[in-house]
C-alpha cells in the first residue's frame, strides 16, 4: 500500500490538472479499494491498445495515459518510417463519455510530433476507421472506443497502414516504446492545429459506395423492398451509417428505435449496450411487435458487432453469433460472384464448425485463427495476392465481407443479412426457416457460452490461477465423457490422450485451452482480452 500511495502522490504534482489532483487527493484520503485499483499498476498498452475504466490514476483511461500511449506510438512511427517526413494518422471515436476529448488529446500529441492527423467531425463506426486508414494512405489509425463494455469504460485501439489492428511485430514494438514513457513530462501535448484536418461526409460516401458493391441479389430486394426491419444503434455510432446503407440497398420499410438513436455514453435505456445480451433488444422487440417487423438489427456502440432477432410466429427469436454467422456465410458462399482467384473464408477457433462444413461443400478453403479480428486480418494480409477473401467471422457477433475493410463491420453485415432475408423469401423461407434448412443439411450445431466476471486486481489473479490449474491438473472426464484430445494454445501443442501423440499448433501463442470429448463435443476456455472475464464455450453437433 505504501508503494501504491507513493504512486498516487506523484499525481498531485503541478503537471497534472486541478480536477485530477483533487480526485487523487480524495482517493488518498479515503485509502480504500478505489485507490488500490487506480494505482496498483499502469494501464497496460496491450497488443491492441488500451482499455479500462475512466478516471484518475495510472490504471485508468484519462488524458495522461492516453497521452503517454500516443507519444509512444508517435516515437515508434518515426522509427518505423525514418525516411518519411509526411507521416499521417486518422482518428475516429464512438459515443462514449470523453471519447471526443481523448480523440482531441491523441490528435494534439501526434500533431505536436509533426504527424498529420485526420479527425472525423463526429462519432463514426470502427469499420469506417479501418477503411479510412487505407483510403487516406495513412501509416496508422486510432479509434477511441470500449466497444460493448459498460459505460464506465473507454478504450484506444491502434491500426496499422493496412487498416487492420496491430499485430506482431508492431504490437510488441509499440508496447516497448510506450513503456519507455516514464513521465508525462515525456509527452508533447502542445498540438499543431495546422496538421489536424477534419474529415467526414466525403469518406462516408466512398465507404458506403463500396458497401453497396457487395450486394449479391439486388433483384431480391427489389421484389421485397418492403421487408419490415427494426433497427437500434443502442445509442451508438451505427446511427451514422446503418439506416443510410440499408436505404441505399433499396429497403424502404425501416423503423428506428428512436429513444436509442440518441448518442449517449451513459446508455440510459439498456442494462448493457451489447447486442449479445437479450435485454438490449427489449425496446426493439416492443417496436417490432407494433409494426410487424420480420427482422430486428442491433449494433454495439462502435458498430462493429451486430445482433439479430427474427420473427418466430408471434414472438421474436434472438440469434446467437454462430447462428447469424451460419446464415450470413451460407448466403454469401452460395451466391458468390465469379473470381479469377480461389476464394477462402476465415473463422476463429471458438466459432462454429458449421462454417467449415458450408465452405467445404462448395470447395472453398477454410483458415482458422485465434480469437480477435486482427488475426482474421492477418490471414487476409498473407493471402491477398494469391487468393480472394470471401467472408470472415467470429462467434462474438462480428463479421466481414469484402477486403476494403480489415475489421468486423456491422454496416455491411446489416445490409447483407437483410438482403439474405429477401433471398430467403424468394426460396419460400423466412430467415429462421433458412437456418433450420442449413441445420438439416449440415447438422445442428448447438453452441453455448458461459462467462464469469472477475473484477480488479484480485479478479485478474483469480483468472490467471484458474488457467494455471487447468494446465497443472487437466481433467480426464467432462460431462461423463472421456477427454480424447487437449489443445493448449499457450504451449502450442495438441495432445491425443488415446494414443499419446503430440503435435504442434501452427498459430501464435494464446492463453486458450480446448478439450475434445469422445462424443465429439468441444469445450473451450479462455480469458477475455478486453474485459475482466473468463469465457467457457461449448459446441455440440447433432444430426436432424
C-alpha cell at 58: 495510472
How many residues are given for the chain?
Answer: 544
Residue 410 contacts by C-beta under 8 Å, 6 or more apart in sequence?
A: 125, 127, 238, 242, 299, 300, 303, 304, 305, 306, 398
Which stretches does DSSP call E strand in 97-139? 116-120
Active-site residue, 147 included: yes
Phi first, then psi: give them for residue 135, nearest 5 degrees: -65, -40
Nearest to 391 by CA among 382, 400, 379, 380: 400
Q: Which residue has the cell 471515436?
A: 93
C-alpha cell at 9: 502522490
Sign of CA dihedral 231, 237, 239, 241: negative
Q: How far is Cα 28 from Cα 484, in angstroms, rounded to an integer?
A: 53
Angle subtended by helix axes 431-442 and 321-334, to nearest 10: 80
Question: CA separation (Å) from 193 to 48, 104, 136, 144, 514?
Answer: 27, 11, 19, 20, 51
Catalytic residue among 88, 99, 111, 147: 147
Q: Which residue has the cell 423466412?
A: 430
Question: CA separation (Å) from 282 to 166, 221, 233, 413?
Answer: 36, 27, 13, 21
Residue 286 contacts by C-beta under 8 Å, 6 or more apart in sequence?
A: none
Sheet of 295-299, strands arranged across:
254-256, 229-232, 295-299, 306-312, 315-319
DSSP letter string, 509-543? --S-EEEEETTS-EEEEEE-SSSSEEEEEEEEEE-
Instruction: Please state, as a whole number, how many other Cβ atoms lie within 10 Å of the Cβ of residue 490.
Output: 14
Contact 486, 473 (CB under 8 A): no
Q: Would you please indicate which residues are annotated as catalytic (active-site) residues?
A: 147
Amino acid at each position: 500500500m505504501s508503494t501504491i500511495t507513493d504512486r498516487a502522490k506523484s499525481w498531485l504534482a503541478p503537471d497534472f490538472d486541478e480536477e485530477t489532483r483533487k480526485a487523487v487527493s480524495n482517493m488518498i484520503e479515503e485509502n480504500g479499494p478505489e485507490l488500490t485499483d487506480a494505482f496498483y499498476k499502469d494501464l497496460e498498452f496491450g497488443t491492441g491498445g488500451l482499455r479500462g475504466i475512466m478516471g484518475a490514476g495510472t490504471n485508468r483511461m484519462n488524458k495522461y495515459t492516453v497521452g503517454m500511449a500516443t507519444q509512444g506510438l508517435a516515437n515508434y512511427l518515426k522509427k518505423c518510417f525514418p525516411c518519411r517526413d509526411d507521416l499521417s494518422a486518422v482518428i475516429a471515436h464512438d459515443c462514449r463519455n470523453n471519447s471526443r476529448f481523448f480523440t482531441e488529446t491523441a490528435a494534439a500529441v501526434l500533431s505536436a510530433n509533426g504527424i498529420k492527423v485526420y479527425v472525423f467531425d463526429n462519432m463514426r463506426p470502427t469499420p469506417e476507421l479501418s477503411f479510412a486508414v487505407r483510403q487516406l494512405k495513412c501509416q496508422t489509425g486510432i479509434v477511441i472506443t470500449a466497444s460493448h463494455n459498460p459505460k464506465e469504460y473507454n478504450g484506444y485501439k491502434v491500426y496499422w497502414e493496412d487498416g487492420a489492428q496491430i499485430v506482431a511485430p508492431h504490437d510488441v514494438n509499440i508496447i516497448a516504446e510506450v513503456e519507455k514513457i516514464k513521465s508525462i513530462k515525456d509527452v508533447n501535448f502542445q498540438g499543431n492545429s495546422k496538421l489536424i484536418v477534419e474529415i467526414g461526409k466525403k469518406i462516408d460516401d466512398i465507404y458506403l459506395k463500396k458497401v453497396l458493391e457487395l450486394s449479391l441479389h439486388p433483384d431480391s430486394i427489389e421484389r421485397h423492398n418492403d421487408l419490415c426491419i427494426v433497427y437500434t444503434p443502442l445509442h451508438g455510432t451505427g446511427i451514422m451509417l446503418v439506416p443510410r446503407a440499408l436505404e441505399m440497398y433499396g429497403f424502404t420499410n425501416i423503423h428506428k428505435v428512436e429513444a436509442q438513436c440518441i448518442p449517449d455514453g451513459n446508455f440510459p435505456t439498456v442494462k448493457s449496450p451489447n447486442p449479445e445480451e437479450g435485454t438490449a433488444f427489449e425496446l426493439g422487440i416492443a417496436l417490432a411487435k407494433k409494426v410487424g417487423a420480420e427482422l430486428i438489427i442491433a449494433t454495439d456502440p462502435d458498430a462493429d458487432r451486430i445482433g439479430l432477432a427474427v420473427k418466430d410466429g408471434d414472438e421474436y427469436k434472438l440469434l446467437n453469433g454462430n447462428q447469424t454467422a451460419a446464415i450470413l456465410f451460407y448466403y454469401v458462399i452460395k451466391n458468390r460472384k465469379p473470381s479469377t482467384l480461389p476464394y477462402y473464408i476465415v473463422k476463429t477457433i471458438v466459432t462454429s464448425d458449421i462454417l467449415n462444413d458450408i465452405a467445404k461443400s462448395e470447395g472453398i478453403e477454410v483458415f482458422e485463427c485465434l480469437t480477435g479480428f486482427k488475426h482474421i486480418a492477418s490471414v487476409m494480409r498473407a493471402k491477398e495476392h494469391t487468393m480472394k477473401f470471401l467472408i470472415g467471422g467470429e462467434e462474438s457477433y462480428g463479421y466481414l465481407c469484402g477486403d476494403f475493410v480489415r475489421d468486423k463491420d456491422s454496416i455491411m453485415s446489416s445490409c447483407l443479412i437483410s438482403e439474405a432475408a429477401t433471398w430467403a423469401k424468394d426460396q419460400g423461407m423466412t430467415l429462421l426457416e433458412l437456418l433450420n434448412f442449413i441445420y438439416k443439411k449440415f447438422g445442428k450445431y448447438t453452441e453455448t457460452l458461459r462467462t464469469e466476471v472477475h473484477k480488479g486486481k484480485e479478479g485478474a489473479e483469480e483468472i490467471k490461477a484458474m488457467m494455471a490449474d487447468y494446465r497443472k491438473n487437466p481433467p480426464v472426464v467432462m460431462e461423463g465423457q472421456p477427454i480424447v484430445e487437449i489443445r493448449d494454445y499457450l504451449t502450442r501443442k495438441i495432445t491425443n490422450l488415446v494414443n499419446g501423440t503430440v503435435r504442434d499448433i501452427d498459430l501464435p501463442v494464446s492463453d486458450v485451452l480446448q478439450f475434445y470429448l469422445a462424443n465429439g463435443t468441444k469445450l473451450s476456455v479462455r480469458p477475455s482480452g478486453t474485459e475482466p472475464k473468463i469465457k467457457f464455450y461449448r459446441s455440440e453437433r447433432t444430426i436432424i
